[in-house]
Amino acid sequence: MAVVIGTSSLRRALGVAVPAALLLGAGLAPAEAARKVPPPVPSTGHQLPFVCSQAWVGGMRGNHSPSKWAIDFNRIGDVGKPVVATAAGVVTTANGTSKSGYGHYVVVDHGNGESSLYAHLKSVQVALGSTVDQGTLVGVVGSTGNVTGPHLHYEQKVGKAVAAPHFAHLPFAGGTLASANCSDVPLAGNMQGDRAAELTVFRRTQTGGFLIQQPGGAQPRVVGFGTATDEPVLGDWNGDGVAEPGVYSVRGRRFKLADPNGLINLKFGARGDRPVAGNWDGTGGWEVGVFRPVGATFQLRGANGAVTTVQLGDANDVPVTGDWNGDGRTDIGVFDRASAVFTLRHLDAAGAAVISSVQFGLAGDLPVPGDWDGNGTMELGTWTPSTAVFNQRQADANGAPRAVAQVQFGRPR
């Protein structure tokens, strides 16, 4: 007959700390032994799932389902407040219908065997299979599912196990924390009217703002426009040869464009769409469009309101636009962040689609094409989040690639 010895008795008898695995062999119940195994620690550099500088109270408890390491976040008046991605990744769950358990919830796969989960949402604002960046709006706080009141239920996972939560690689044990989810979003456009593209970042502060690089090392020009949860775009909205800021409200499916002749406010798109802009017909001012992850299609809105649909890439690609062949019309493309491959599409003189693939940058980079030399043809570029370095692919007079220029601009993550 086996004799079961309690944990404390066994440790007193041996006079040493006993690993959990050995306690099983001593007859300890599996559930009790499992509690002694330390939780995994995520390697992903998560930030708080809320807008930059907002303070939230996070609580953990021993009887929390599915794990004591899951966090419930609250603040006064939290219903409807934005919930943003804590790190970049691909949406593997976008459940906006469940009325039990997690309720409406989102899961983001960070590509390294780790993921994050956002539950009890009032609404889901991303599409299944789409790529999200750190700070991207994924939903809003609600009380759907098995809850007693509104809050955000949040988990960091390593494999299938809920991890001990970390923000900015520091352990979180509960309490009040202000969000440092204030990431820069890289862009490039002809902001000075000199034909060549200037480096720009959209900073996800609470009010939002564009920082535009100035010549000679001068302080960046700052243009306050948009909010932290908007997606930024640049475009020559009035056709004067100078690019201006714009933003896309993910929640409202609405473009707001800073046209010098007056603010343009235009509703377009569907849940989970990503904004794009370009001069689709090669005349007049720029128009807007969206990349729709469901079906991997571009929906390009013409000046007359007509919409052209073009399929390109996969749901998890990042859309890019640019005049790839110098014919004055903006073309489309996609970038795969996992493989750092651009897939570009343009029309030849006969109107036939030409598709090309170019590997450039590093895995995890964000795509930033730009007309770096002002010759009317867009070159490729990327931005490395960990270093805030723009990598500009230069080309010679015949279009052949040559040296890569690297410029640091923006804040590293």
Domain made up of 184-408: CATH architecture: 6 Propeller (2.120)
Nearest residue to 129 via CA among 296, 252, 248: 296
Q: What is the pLDDT of residues 98-128, one digit of tens each?
A: 999 999 999 999 999 999 999 999 999 999 9
- Which pLDDT belongs to residue 352? 96
- Which pLDDT belongs to residue 361? 96
- Which pLDDT belongs to residue 217? 84
- Which pLDDT belongs to residue 206? 84
- Which pLDDT belongs to residue 401? 66
What the block records as the tokens of 79 is 């219903």
- Which pLDDT belongs to residue 346? 97
- Which pLDDT belongs to residue 192? 92
Token pair 């299944």 is at which residue? 128
Secondary structure letter of residue 164 according to DSSP = P
3-class secondary structure, 21: helix
- Which pLDDT belongs to residue 221? 96
Residue 230 to residue 186: CA distance in whole angstroms: 14
- Which pLDDT belongs to residue 37? 81
Secondary structure letter of residue 330 according to DSSP = -
- Which pLDDT belongs to residue 19? 37
Residue 78 to residue 76: CA distance in whole angstroms: 5
Token pair 């408890």 is at which residue? 61
The domain limits of the chain are 1-37, 55-178, 184-408
3-class secondary structure, 12: helix
Q: In what order do the strands lie in the sheet with 297-301?
A: 274-278, 287-292, 297-301, 307-311
Low-confidence ranges of the chain (pLDDT < 70): 1-35, 396-401
57 in Cβ contact with 95 (< 8 Å): no
What the block records as the tokens of 194 is 């000199």
- Which pLDDT belongs to residue 394? 86
The pairing of beta strand 264-267 with beta strand 331-336? unpaired
- Which pLDDT belongs to residue 396? 64
Burial track 390-405 (b if 16+ CB lie within 10 A, e otherwise): bbbbebeeeeeeeeee
- Which pLDDT belongs to residue 395? 74
Residue 304 to residue 298: CA distance in whole angstroms: 17
- Which pLDDT belongs to residue 207? 84
What is this structure's pTM?
0.89
Cis peptide before 49 (omega within 30 of 0): no
DSSP track, 261-325:
TS-EEEE---TT-EEEEE-TTSSSS-EEEEEETTTTEEEEEPTTS-EEEEE-S-TTPEEEEE-SS
| Non-local CB neighbours of 279 within 8 Å, separated by 6+ positions | 236, 285, 286, 287, 323, 328, 329, 330
CATH number of this structure's domain 55-178, picked from the four choices 2.70.70.10, 3.40.50.300, 3.40.50.1970, 2.60.120.1440 = 2.70.70.10
181 in Cβ contact with 135 (< 8 Å): yes
